[in-house]
Amino acid sequence: MIEMQVDGRTIEAGEGETILAALKREGIHVPTLCHMEGLPPSGACRMCVVEQEGTGALLPSCSYPVSPGMKVRTRSPKVLNARKTIVELLLSNHPDDCLYCVRSGNCELQRLAEAMGVRQRSLRGAKNHRPHDVSGAVVRDPDKCILCGRCVRVCEEVQGICCIDFVGRGCKTYIGTTFDQGLNVSTCVNCGQCIVACPTGALTEHSCLNEVVAALSDPDKVVIAQHAPAVSVSLAEEFGVPAGQDVDGKMVAALRLLGFDWVFDTSFTADLTIMEEGSELAHRIASGGVLPMFTSCSPGWIKFVEQFYPDLIPNLSSCKSPQQMMGAIIKSYFAEKENLDPKKVVSVSIMPCTAKKFESGRPEMGRDHTPDVDYVLTTRELGRLLRMFGVNLMGIEPQTADNPFGERSTAGKIFGASGGVMEAAIRTANFLLTGEELPKLDVLPVRGMKGRKELRAKIGDLEVGAAVVNSLSGARKMLDEIRAGRSDLQFIEFMTCPGGCINGGGQPIGIDPDAAKARMAALYKIDETAKLRVSHKNPYVKRLYDEFLGKPLGEKSHHLLHTKYAAREVL
C-alpha cells in the first residue's frame, strides 16, 4: 500500500490501483459516465477528472494509476468547471423532451446537470435527427445517445453479442447496427442489458402499457396476470425501497386493484418445468439421447444458440419457459375449467426480462393463431402502471395469488437466481430416481453470482455432471468446450443475464451496485423458511397432471408445454 493525499486528507491505495478505485473505497464520490464497474476503463467521458496539485493537470481518475506521494483535488474550481463544461456540451444537442422521456427522474445526465448547477443552455449545437429503431423488444432513440459507449461494452464484453458498435468518426460518430438495419435482424438477443447500462433514455424496452390498460378497461376481456419469481424481490425498488425486500403479497393485491381478474404465480409453472425437464433429462440419459441437455427457460439464451450455435440446438430441452407454460395452460386447462373463450382471455406476464417480450411473439408459442401470452410487462413497466393508477404499493395489505396456479414451491421461486433451476432440478431428480428426499435441500455449490459453477451430483447410483453458466460471454466459452468434445457433463443451466433473472434487462434501474446480490439473497431467504421446498410436492401440479395433462412427457404435455427451435440467419 502507498499513501496519497486527496483534498488534504491522507488515504492509502494499492500500487497500480486507479485513483477512482481508491477514492470509491474511501467513500469519496467522483461522478462518472462511461465507467463500468468490473470492466477495464475507457476514459472516454472525462467526467471523473481530478486535479493534480503542483502541475494543475486534470487526470481521468478512472484510468490514471496512483503513485507514491500523489496529491489530488476532487472539487477544485478547475475540476468543477471542467465537469460542468462536459455536461453543457452533452446537453448542447440533447433533445428537450425530458417531460416525455421514460427515464425522466432516473437519468444520469439529468442528475449530473442538477449536481453541476446547469440551469440554462449556454451552448447550442445542431440537433441529431436519426431514425428511431422500434423493430425489436429493445427500442433505440439515437438522438438521446451521449456516446458514453456503455451499451457497446456490455453487449460486447459482458454478453459477447456485438450487435451494436460505434459508426463513423469525430462529430459524425453514432452507435448503430450492421448496415444500419433494425435490431430485429441483427444478432441482438433482446436481453436488455444495454438498457440497464444506458445512462439516458436512448435505450428502452418496447412498452405494452397502452395495450394492457386498454384490456383492463374492456368489459368483454378476462385479463389474467402472472408474475415471475424475481419480480417480487425487486418491484419495491421502483418506489424507493432498498433492494432485496420481498413484496409478493402486496404486489398481488396491487394487481387486483389494477383490475386483473386473476393473478397467478409463474413459480407454479417453474415447478411444472422441473417435472417436464427432469423427466426429459432422465429419458435422454436412459435412452442414449443427446447430452448434455441445456435448460430452455431463458429466451435470450435460446436465440443466442439459434444464431451462433445452431449445431447444438438438439441439446436444448424442448420445454417451453415457465412464462409460456403458464400462458398455454391458462388458455387451455384454465379456460376450459372456467368456461372461458380463450380468444377473450388476455394473458399478461410481468417479467424481469425484455427478451420475454420477444419470446411471447414467437409464432410457435401458441395454437390456432392464439398466442400463449398476449403482453409482457417488465418490472419497470409494472412500476409505471401502478403509479399511473395511483396505487400505493407499500401501503396496501398483502394478499395471496389465485389457485390453481398460485401455489408454488420455493424450488420454483429460486428460478430467479442463477443456479436456481439447477438446484430445483437436483432436489426433484433425487426423489424421482431414488424415492427419497435429499437429506439437505440446499445445493450450495450452484449458488452465487459467479459466472460459472460446476459440480458432480450423486443421485442414487447415477453420477451426474452439472454446470451453471450466466452471461452469454460465459455461455460462449462453455459451448466452445462442448463443441471441442467435452463429455463429462449431462445437464447445464444457462442464463442470459449476469446473476440470472434477478439482474434481467427489465429490472429497476438504480445506483445500487449490489442490488442483484440483495435480490438473490432475498430469494434464498424465502426458500430457507418455507415448508414446500420441492417441485414434485406441489399439490396443484399433481392435480394438473391428474385432471388434464396425464403425465410428464405425455401426449398432452408435449403438445402444450414443449416446442422446437430452428437455426436463424443473421447479418
- pLDDT, tens digit, for every residue of 323-342? 999 999 999 999 999 999 99
Q: What is the pLDDT of residue 199?
A: 97
CA-wise closest residue to 429 among 552, 556, 289, 298: 552
Q: What is the pLDDT of residue 524?
A: 97
Q: What is the pLDDT of residue 571?
A: 66
State the average pLDDT over residues 474-492.
97
Catalytic option among 144, 250, 320, 356 = 356
Q: What is the pLDDT of residue 486?
A: 96
DSSP at 170: G
What is the full DSSP assignment across 78-102? HHHHHHHHHHHHHHTTS-S-TTT-T
Q: What is the pLDDT of residue 456?
A: 92
The hierarchical CATH code for the domain 2-90 is 3.10.20.740
C-alpha distances in Å from residue 514, one per residue of 243, 409, 511 = 8, 26, 9
Those residues with Cβ within 8 angstroms of residue 531's Cβ, 6 or more apart along the chain or in another chain: none
Give bridge partners of residue 370 from the DSSP assignment: 367
Active site residue 26: no
Kind of pairing, strands 203-205 and 222-227? unpaired
Active site residue 364: yes
Q: Is the pLDDT of residue 463 over 90?
A: no
The hierarchical CATH code for the domain 93-119+128-205 is 3.30.70.20
At residue 127 the predicted structure's pLDDT band, cuts being 50, 70 and 90, is confident
pLDDT cut 70: percent of the chain above it: 100
Active site residue 356: yes
Catalytic option among 234, 317, 471, 535 = 317
At residue 368 the predicted structure's pLDDT band, cuts being 50, 70 and 90, is confident
Which residue's entry shows cell 455432471? 465
What is the full DSSP assignment across 473-520? HHHHHHHHHHHTT--S-SEEEEESSTTSGGG-TTS---S-TTHHHHHH
The domains of the chain are located at 2-90, 93-119+128-205, 210-561
- pLDDT, tens digit, for every residue of 511-540? 788 999 999 999 999 999 999 999 999 999
Active site residue 317: yes
Beta strands per DSSP E along 231-308: 262-265, 293-294
Give the separation between CA 257 and CA 325, rounded to whole angstroms. Answer: 26
Catalytic option among 238, 277, 381, 493 = 277
Q: Is the pLDDT of residue 267 over 80?
A: yes
CA-wise closest residue to 420 among 255, 278, 270: 270
State the average pLDDT over residues 540-549.
97
Catalytic option among 108, 359, 381, 407 = 359
- pLDDT, tens digit, for every residue of 157-193? 999 999 999 999 998 999 999 999 999 999 999 999 9
Catalytic option among 205, 276, 280, 306 = 280
Q: What is the pLDDT of residue 412?
A: 97
Query: SS3 for 531?
Result: coil
- Written as nine digits, the cell of 159 is 454478453
CA-wise closest residue to 247 among 491, 519, 12, 496: 519
- pLDDT, tens digit, for every residue of 17-51? 999 999 999 999 999 999 999 999 999 999 999 99
Catalytic option among 332, 418, 501, 557 = 501
Active site residue 557: no
Provide φ and ψ at 377, rounded to 5°.
-110, 140
278 neighbors 429 (Cβ within 8 angstroms)? yes
Provide φ and ψ at 226, rounded to 5°.
-130, 145
Q: What is the pLDDT of residue 383?
A: 97
The hierarchical CATH code for the domain 210-561 is 3.40.50.1780
Task: Quote the pTM value.
Answer: 0.95
At residue 459 the predicted structure's pLDDT band, cuts being 50, 70 and 90, is confident
Q: Is the pLDDT of residue 72 over 80?
A: yes
Q: Is the pLDDT of residue 477 over 80?
A: yes
- Please provide the average confidence, as pLDDT, over all residues in the chain: 95
Q: What is the pLDDT of residue 569?
A: 84
Give the separation between CA 296 and CA 232, rounded to whole angstroms. Answer: 22
What is the full DSSP assignment across 109-167? HHHHHHHTT--S-----PPP-PPPB-SSSEEE-GGG-----HHHHIIIIIS-----EEE
Q: What is the pLDDT of residue 116?
A: 95
